[in-house]
Amino acid sequence: MKKISLFFIGLLSLGGVATAQPSKATLVIETDQPQAKIHKEIYGQFAEHLGAGIYGGIWVGKNSKIPNIDGYRRDVVEAIKQLAVPVIRWPGGCFADQYHWMDGVGPQDKRKHLINSNWGGVVEDNSFGTNEFLNFCELVGAEPYISGNLGSGTPQEMADWVEYMTFDGSSPMADLRRANGRDKPWKVKFWGVGNESWGCGGNMTPEYYSDLYRRYATFLHNYSGNQLYKIASGANGNDYNWTDVVMKAVGHRMQGISLHYYTVPKTWADKGSATSFDTQEYLTSIEKTLYMNELITKHSAIMDKYDPQKKIGLIVDEWGIWTNVEPGTNPGFLFQQNSLRDAIIAALNFNIFDQHADRVRMANIAQMVNVLQSIILTKGDKMVLTPTYYAFEMYKGHMGGELLNTQLTCDQINLGQEKSPMLSVSASSKDGVITLSIVNIDPTNDADLTCDLRGGTFKSVLGEILTSKNLTDINTFDVPSTVQLKPFTSAKLKGSNVTLKVPAKSIITLTIQ
């Protein structure tokens, strides 16, 4: 009898179904050896004029029946504030290189109506423009990151935009700002000089783009104590040549260079469903997500050749899972649902960005509301927080912390082409508090984890967990709390050891002090 049950357990574990015994894992954390600062902007957002990303998602106008603060949806404002979103990129994306900012200032009823030819060919009424965006950032406490138009705009137009936003004295653009109701300039630090200039931003070669960057950036001035952090349009995924050419030709004329990489579960032609996928498709999505680590490592090594002191930041200003749109929705609006899988993908990306904190200065998920891997979905007056929202919430403690050195020993999981450790972690320290985030990628197997906290004494551990019955579980407008953040109370602290069981397909964050 005993023999049969042992044999049965063996079969189960071979087949990848739940094992009787959780896998054993250990983690050493050197709590007194900080590595690099985790810039809070790694947890940034991106909001483009695309689908309901702005209109309906953030901006409903002052006369809307949807509860709003000066035209901004109240529910969305509160959710963003709760997350302490550090930075928001705007107005695109591809939209940025067709955007002429003058169309979006002045009396709203006089603004030009244009075609949003990148995204669904719908009418853009320009009612959300520069003042509306910068006031929104002030309202939610986030820094603005402006994506300037290098593709179809002029250097003069970009220079004027900086003057309009940031000049304190009397000048044509500062006076126009005043006439539009804003006396004091805003502080605007992050400035993108073009977007995807290898593609929708102008189909340029890196050599041609570098020349244009040098020209446009020359006229972007630091006014009235404002200090611009200029970001060059960077590579598409593994286009290492782009990074090499721009680093060599532009060098320290820029403070950052971007990188765009999306997790596409299947192919670009048929990306896969956001809500219906099997275990293998999940594992492939994870494998494709983990590729971000190789991309950052290799782009960073190229940057090291020209910038060994790592002064130039790698700005991952578009990342996230990109699936097929929800059936029945406008294909140009990129509206997709968001499952537990997506929260795990977000957490894995956070762990990778944190590990590369010496080079990754900012990252912006695509996109904040109603577009691609959103943290918030809206429909009329309803709003729902996605599993990805909760992943951001769980990582708040890492913002501005010092990355800690960790050594993880755990079982491997077969993803398809490659294997990966079943767990992924990030540990940081801020004001004597350790934040430890753990992701269990494995869809079926739990892990018993022992953490050895070296170099400090600790008295308490608190935790929270995000998981659900199925990887495909989502939050909907009718059932908004299927995937919810819950307290995690079973981590035990004894001396310098913390022990816990990390359930399959879960994210846990511990706060240890």
Q: Which residues are catalytic?
A: 196, 318
* Residue-wise DSSP of 113-130: PEEETTTTTEEE---S-H
Closest approach, Cβ 371 to ligand AHR, in A, equals 7
C-beta closer to ligand AHR: residue 259 or 423? 259
Q: Which residues contact 154 (CB under 8 A, 6 or more apart)?
A: none
**Continuous segment of H or E residues that includes residue 35:** strand 23-37
φ and ψ at 316, to 5 degrees? -85, 75
Closest approach, Cβ 335 to ligand AHR, in A, equals 12
CA distance 158 to 409: 51
Token pair for residue 268? 């670009």
Q: Are strands 87-90 and 114-116 parallel, antiparallel or unpaired?
A: unpaired
Q: How many CA atoms lie within 13 A of 241 on its CB side?
A: 5
- State the SS3 of 60-75: CCCCCCCCEECCEEHH
Helix extents (H) in 205-278: 206-218, 240-250
Closest approach, Cβ 264 to ligand AHR, in A, equals 11
Closest approach, Cβ 372 to ligand AHR, in A, equals 6
> Three-state DSSP class for 155?
helix
Q: Give the alpha-carbon dihedral of 133, 135, 138, 144, to 10 degrees.
A: 30
Token pair for residue 358? 């010496």
Helix extents (H) in 167-315: 172-179, 206-218, 240-250, 279-306
Closest approach, Cβ 93 to ligand AHR, in A, equals 3
- Residue 180: how many CB atoms within 10 A of its CB? 14
Residue in the block written with tokens 């006396």: 183
Cross-strand pairs, 500: 449
Q: Closest residue (Cβ) to ligand AHR?
A: 93
C-beta closer to ligand AHR: residue 44 or 92? 92
Positions that interact with ligand AHR (CB under 6 A): 48, 92-94, 195-196, 318, 366-367, 372
CA distance 40 to 337: 26
- Residue 227: how many CB atoms within 10 A of its CB? 11
Token pair for residue 354? 């944190």
CB-CB contact of 167 with 174 (8 Å): yes
Task: Kindly tell me the sign of the dihedral angle through the C-alpha atoms of 160, 164, 166, 170.
Answer: positive
φ and ψ at 426, to 5 degrees? -145, 135
CA distance 484 to 92: 30
